[in-house]
Amino acid sequence: MKIWQLPSVLLLLISSVISHPHNLFEYNELSEYVDSHQEEYVQTLRDWVAVESDSSDVLKRPDCHRMMDMTAEKLRAMGGKVELVDIGVQELPNGQTVDLPKVVTAQFGSDPSKQTVCVYGHVDVQPAKLEDGWATDPYNLTDIDGNLYGRGASDNKAPVLAWIHTVEAYQALKIVCDLPVNVKFIIEGMEETGSNGLDAMIMAQRDSFLSDVDYILISDCGWLSRRPALTYGTRGNCYFFAEVEGPKQDLHSGVYGGTVIEPMTDLIGILDTLISPSGKILIPGIREAVAPLSDEEWKMYQDIEFDIESYKSKIGVSQLMYNNKVDLLAHRWRYPTVTVHGIEGAFSAPGTKTVIPAKVIAKFSIRQVPNMDPAVVKKQVTDYLNSVFAKRKSPNKLKVTMVIGAKPWLADTKHPLYEAGKIYHFFILVFNVEPDLIREGGTIPIAKTFEDVTGKSIIMLPIGGFDDGLHSQNEKMSRYNYIEGTKLFIAYLHEVAHLKKN
């Protein structure tokens, strides 16, 4: 066989070894180290998942504080220079305040001749209850056929741990190889409610902790399929509460129904005007702001392997909004959407309570995209709902509040960090395949701020599986992704060490 007849992945691997001859040897040692510590890594994940660090429930705030302490302790035990940064308080709707979980910063190495990366992640989670339909206790990490089920396993505790274990592996094999770059960590505990307090902290640390950072690394997202991926964009999130208040207390629907104008009817009526059944956002100005789909993007989406039938079967639906791949990917990643998440105050328990709820609060969010601006979206949504409500001539009161205003983020795929030749061989080394270049429909609220404040580039390196069930029942992280993902980070740090220093 001639060299040009070799498969392209093998050629890439050979070229990687030729350009950095020591890579393979060190990688093998490190990879074996990771394999031999697999059970320890799973146990640490179990300990972390056991903490109900649900940032949306203030009653769970002590668990969030404990989670930050555990994170700090882990990094401190590895010899990191660790701080728990106080980021102030959260104001609750009733006017009371509660302490925000402190942010953990840590530093490993300060060699000015090396690149410095800053890993961002979060250790808070979305709510989860067994009664929601989980097959296992969400806070007891359960291994079934190599899948580790538990709330926060994939989003984002295992990826954070994988980065920590990366540093640990380099430290453990110090005789063979030293940490190739300086590594900093910023780990927060409020991501799942919009990263409250983190923007201000990032700005405050710009000229201190963040001043020597060359790149920001984020692994808070997932692959599109079984193929590994690099993520170059995330959508933003504008999260709204729409409160409709009527009578001074709940009423018997038999006694009062037919005489009062019901808050729930008003609320459902206005919610129904947000989006059409075919997915068209009806709020004036929203669709007009969206950056048009370029030919280049269309081509990129067209070239991505994405099986519509298996997507449908994975989520258990018989029909999707669109029937072709490009439309589906575009609407998942780079067009805005409206989702109604829930209604507080509505009767939702099993059984048949015949009540007219006096006050109901709808929770809905708009995933926004370039070139939408959260401040503009807030005004567009508030004005629109007020005008729709006014037409109902209801005596009830409507109050619209935007509680999260997280911006979208989009990387320049031409940046050396994303340029195939420069980085893809670390994927080949670990997975023997090139990654998909994808966008993420979800939000990493701090991403844009990181980039704007530090002026540094972000690279998103997901290790979560396509079917991890983030935010839903039976969230999981596979052992495969957790362990091979750690190896990917190990290989990647080598890669960053060879990038030209800015």
Ligand X SMILES: CC(C)C[C@H](NC(=O)CN)C(=O)O
Query: Would strands 215-218 and 116-122 be described as parallel, antiparallel, or unpaired?
Result: parallel
Stretch that binds ligand X, among 77-85, 130-138, 368-376, 440-448 (CB under 6 A): 440-448
How near is the Cβ of 208 to ligand X at its closest, in Å? 27
Tell me the closest approach of the beta carbon of residue 59 to ligand X, in angstroms.
19
Query: In a 3-state reduction of DSSP, which class is residue 184?
Result: strand
Determine the Cα–Cα distance for residues 128 and 116; give it in Å rounded to an integer.
36
Q: How far apart are CA 477 and CA 80, in angstroms?
A: 27
Please name the residues in contact with 314: beta carbons below 8 A apart, sequence gap of 6 or more. 466, 467
d(CA 395, CA 399): 13
**CB contact at 8 A, 185 and 175:** no
Contact indicator for 141, 148 with CB cutoff of 8 Å: yes
Cβ at position 439, least distance to ligand X in Å: 13
Helix spans in 148-293 (H): 158-172, 198-204, 253-256, 263-271, 286-289
* Residue 376 binds ligand X, judged by CB under 6 A: no
Stretch that binds ligand X, among 316-324, 327-335, 390-398, 438-446 (CB under 6 A): 438-446
Binding flag, residue 155, ligand X (CB under 6 A): yes
Residue closer to ligand X (CB basis): 192 or 266:
192
Of 108-116, 198-206, 381-389, 442-450, which part binds ligand X (CB under 6 A)? 442-450
If the CB atoms of residues 167 and 190 are measured against ligand X, the closer one turns out to be: 190
Quick note: the x/- pattern for ligand X over 160-199, rule CB under 6 A, is: --------------------------------x-x-----
* Shortest Cβ 403–ligand X spacing (Å): 10
| Residues forming beta bridges with residue 147, ordered by sequence position | 144, 478
Distance CA 9, CA 43 (A): 34
CA count, 13 A, side-chain hemisphere, 209: 24
Cα atoms in the Cβ-side hemisphere of radius 13 Å centred on 356: 22
**How many residues belong to the site for ligand X (CB under 6 A)?**
13
> What does DSSP say about strands 182-188 and 103-108: parallel, antiparallel, or unpaired?
antiparallel
434 part of the active site: no
**Nearest one of 198, 213, 116 to 444, comparing CA atoms:** 198
- Radius of gyration for the chain, computed over Cα atoms and rounded to the nearest angstrom: 24
Name which of 147 and 219 has its Cβ closer to ligand X.
219
Which amino acid is it at 342? G
Which residue in the set 127, 247, 285, 442 belongs to the binding site for ligand X (CB under 6 A)?
Answer: 442
Instruction: Pick the binder of ligand X from 14, 404, 453, 497 (CB under 6 A).
Output: 404
Q: Indicate the residue among 58 and 433 with the shorter CB distance to ligand X.
A: 58
Residue 63 or residue 220: which is nearer to ligand X going by CB? 220
**By the rule CB under 6 A, 443 interacts with ligand X:** yes
The residue number whose beta carbon is nearest to ligand X equals: 442
Q: Does 220 bind ligand X (CB under 6 A)?
A: yes
> Within positions 89 to 118, which residues make up the interface with ligand X, using CB under 6 A?
none
Query: Does the footprint of ligand X cover residue 150 (CB under 6 A)?
Result: no
- In the complex with ligand X, the residue whose CB is nearer, 122 or 425, is 122
Asked if residue 237 binds ligand X (CB under 6 A), the reply is yes
Q: Is 447 in the site for ligand X (CB under 6 A)?
A: no
Closest CB to ligand X among residues 12, 217: 217
The pairing of strands 147-149 and 97-99 is unpaired
Q: Are 318 and 309 in contact (CB under 8 A)?
A: no
The nearest distance, CB 454 to ligand X, in angstroms, is 20
Strand pairing category for 457-460 and 215-218 = parallel
Give how far Cα 19 sits from Cα of 12, 50, 320, Å. Answer: 10, 44, 46
By CB under 6 A, residue 262 contacts ligand X: no
Active-site entry in 26, 52, 124, 199: 124
Please tell me which residue in 26, 191, 266, 436 is annotated as part of the active site. 191
Q: Is 406 a binder of ligand X (CB under 6 A)?
A: yes
**Phi (first) and psi of residue 208, to 5 degrees:** -120, -95
Q: Quick check: is 124 catalytic? A: yes
The smaller minimum CB distance to ligand X, of residues 247 and 442, is found at: 442
Distances (CA, A) of 93 to 125, 149, 243, 379, 403: 21, 33, 12, 20, 10
Should residue 403 be labelled a site residue for ligand X when binding is judged by CB under 6 A?
no
Is the Cβ–Cβ distance between 192 and 404 less than 8 Å?
no
Nearer to ligand X, 80 or 441 (CB): 441
Please tell me whether residue 51 binds ligand X under the rule CB under 6 A: no
> Does residue number 475 form part of the binding site for ligand X (CB under 6 A)?
no
Which chain residues interact with ligand X by CB under 6 A?
155-156, 192, 194, 220, 237, 404, 406, 442-445, 470
* Residues catalogued as catalytic: 124, 191
